C-alpha cells in the first residue's frame, strides 16, 4: 500500500515511511491510495472469527508488503490482549467499553499497534527515533505505556498544564526510561501546533528523526477501525440499523469508523458527539468550517478547536458536503448537560460513565429523537476513575480504583515546563 499526502505536494510513500515520518513534508496527513472492500463472506462469517482474525483481515491491505503476515499477526495479538464488552442500556442504546487496556482508554489500541510497528521497522536500525506526541490526556498515557522500553525509540509527550486530570497526569509523567513529559503553559492546540512546527523545522529534522504518535499517524489511526467491527459482531444479529455515537475531539475514531464502512461494514450512520468544542457541529449546520481556540471542559480529551482528522473525513467524501451530511450528524453538549447525563445514566441504568461517554450517550438520545427505530452504540472511551473528582462529585459515590490506576497513584511526577516552541526545540536538541 502506498500513502499520499492530503496536501498533494509530497511524494507518495510506503506504510513504513508514512509511520516513520508521521506527517508528510508538505505538512499533509497521509492517506491510503486505495481502500479495497472486504469480501461478503468475511461479514457473513464474522461470528466465527476471533478479534485478532477480524483485525488481521481488516488491516492487512494497509500494512502490506512492509510487515510480513506472521509479524502482523503477532502485533495484532499483542495489541488486542484485552476485551471490548458491549453493555446494553435499553432497546435502543448500548455502550462499547474501550477502556479495558493497560491505561484504561481507547487509545491503547492504536498506541500499542503503532509501537509494535515502529519497533519492527526499527529493529535493525541503530539510529534513534523520537516520537513527539501532543496529548489532551489519554493519548500520552497510551503512547507512554505502548512505547515503554522499545529499542531506539524515545518518546516526548507535550500536555497542557492544568488541563488534564490528576490521574492522567500521573500516567503521563511517571514512567522514566525512554519516556519524558513536557508540561506546556497553554492549551492542547498549543501542544499540537508545537509538534507540527517541529516536523517542519528542517534544522531540527536534519539532526534527528521525528515521528508522531497522535492519530495523524496512520499506524495510530487505522487500528481504531477494529472496534467498530467488534461491536458489529456482538450486535448485528439482534440489531440491523447500527448507529455509532462517538465522543469526538481530533475525529480519529469517527474517521476510522468511516474507513470500516468503506471496507464494507454495514453502519447506518455516525454521530460526532461534541462538548463545547463544536467546530464540526457548526460546520454541519452552516457548511462553513471555522476552527477556533479550544475551550476547557470536563471531557478534556475532546477539547480540540481544530480537529486534525477532519480533513481525512472530507477526503473520504471527496469534499462533498451533502454526501458527508447524509452519513454524519453532530451534536454539542455543555458541561452541565454532561453532568446531568452522567447522573441519569447512573440513576437509570446503575452504570458509572466518564464525561466523554456521557457526551456520547447524549448524542444517541439526540439522534433517536428523530430516528426512533435506530439502534445506537456510544463509545465509553475511558474508565470513569480517570476522572475521579468529577465522577464522584456527580454520582455521590466513592469509586473503587482499578489496579491499572492504583499502580501510578503513589509515583512521583517528573515533567519539564515549557512555554514556547523554542523551549521545545532546545529540549529536543539537548536532552
Question: SS3 string of 302-371?
Answer: HCCCCCCCHHHHHHHCCCCHHHHHHHEEEEECCHHHHHHHHHHHHHHHCCCCCHHHHHHHHHHHHHHHHC
Domains detected in the chain: 83-104+221-400 (3.40.50.1100)
Q: Is the pLDDT of residue 125 over 80?
A: no
Q: What is the pLDDT of residues 63-114, one digit of tens each?
A: 999 999 999 999 999 999 999 999 999 999 999 999 999 989 899 999 999 9
Q: What's the pLDDT at 254?
A: 97
> Higher model confidence: residue 394 or residue 404?
394
Q: What is the pLDDT of residues 3-22, one digit of tens each?
A: 999 999 999 999 999 999 88
pTM (2 d.p.): 0.92
Q: What is the pLDDT of residues 40-71, one digit of tens each?
A: 999 999 999 999 999 999 999 999 999 999 99
What is the percent of the chain where pLDDT is above 90?
A: 77
Question: SS3 string of 142-178?
Answer: HHHHHHCCCCCEEEEEEEECCCCCHHHHHHHHCCCCC
Q: What's the pLDDT at 146?
A: 87
Q: What is the mean pLDDT of the chain?
A: 94
In which element (H, E) is residue 291 found? Answer: none
Amino acid at each position: 500500500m502506498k500513502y499520499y499526502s492530503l496536501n498533494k505536494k509530497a511524494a507518495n510513500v510506503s506504510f513504513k515511511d508514512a509511520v516513520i515520518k508521521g506527517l508528510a513534508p508538505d505538512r499533509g496527513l497521509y492517506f491510503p491510495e486505495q481502500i479495497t472492500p472486504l469480501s461478503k463472506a468475511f461479514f457473513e462469517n464474522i461470528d466465527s472469527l476471533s478479534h485478532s482474525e477480524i483485525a488481521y483481515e481488516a488491516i492487512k491491505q494497509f500494512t502490506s508488503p512492509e510487515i510480513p503476515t506472521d509479524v502482523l499477526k503477532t502485533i495484532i495479538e499483542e495489541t488486542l490482549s484485552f476485551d471490548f464488552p458491549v453493555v446494553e442500556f435499553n432497546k435502543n442504546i448500548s455502550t462499547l467499553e474501550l477502556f479495558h487496556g493497560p491505561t484504561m482508554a481507547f487509545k491503547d489500541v492504536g498506541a500499542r499497534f503503532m509501537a509494535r510497528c515502529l519497533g519492527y521497522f526499527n529493529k535493525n536500525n541503530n539510529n534513534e527515533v523520537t516520537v513527539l506526541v501532543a496529548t489532551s490526556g489519554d493519548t500520552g498515557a497510551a503512547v507512554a505505556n505502548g512505547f515503554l522500553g522499545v529499542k531506539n525509540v524515545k518518546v516526548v509527550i507535550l500536555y497542557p498544564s492544568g488541563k488534564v486530570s490528576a490521574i492522567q497526569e500521573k500516567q503521563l509523567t511517571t514512567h522514566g526510561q525512554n519516556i519524558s513529559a513536557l508540561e506546556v503553559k497553554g492549551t492542547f492546540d498549543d501542544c499540537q501546533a508545537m509538534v507540527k512546527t517541529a516536523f517542519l523545522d528542517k534544522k531540527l529534522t536534519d539532526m534527528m528523526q521525528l515521528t508522531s504518535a497522535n492519530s495523524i499517524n496512520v499506524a495510530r489511526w487505522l487500528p481504531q477501525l477494529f472496534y467498530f467491527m467488534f461491536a458489529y459482531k456482538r450486535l448485528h444479529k439482534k440489531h440491523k440499523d447500527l448507529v455509532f455515537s462517538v465522543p469526538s475531539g481530533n475525529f480519529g475514531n469517527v474517521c476510522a469508523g468511516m474507513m470500516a464502512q468503506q471496507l464494507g461494514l454495514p453502519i447506518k450512520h455516525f454521530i460526532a458527539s461534541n462538548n463545547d468544542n463544536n467546530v464540526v457541529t457548526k460546520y454541519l449546520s452552516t457548511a462553513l468550517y471555522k476552527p477556533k481556540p479550544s475551550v476547557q471542559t470536563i471531557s478534556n480529551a475532546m477539547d480540540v478547536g481544530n480537529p486534525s482528522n477532519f480533513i481525512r473525513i472530507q477526503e473520504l467524501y471527496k469534499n462533498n458536503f451533502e454526501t458527508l451530511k447524509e452519513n454524519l450528524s453532530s451534536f454539542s453538549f455543555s458541561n452541565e448537560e454532561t453532568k446531568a447525563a452522567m447522573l441519569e445514566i447512573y440513576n437509570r441504568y446503575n452504570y458509572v460513565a466518564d464525561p466523554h461517554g456521557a457526551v456520547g450517550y447524549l448524542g444517541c438520545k439526540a439522534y433517536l429523537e428523530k430516528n426512533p427505530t435506530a439502534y445506537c452504540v456510544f463509545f465509553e472511551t475511558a474508565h470513569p476513575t480517570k476522572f475521579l473528582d468529577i465522577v464522584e462529585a456527580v454520582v455521590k459515590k466513592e469509586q473503587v480504583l482499578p489496579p491499572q490506576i492504583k499502580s501510578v497513584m503513589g509515583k512521583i511526577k517528573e515533567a519539564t515546563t515549557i512555554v514556547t516552541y523554542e523551549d521545545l526545540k532546545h529540549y529536543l536538541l539537548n536532552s
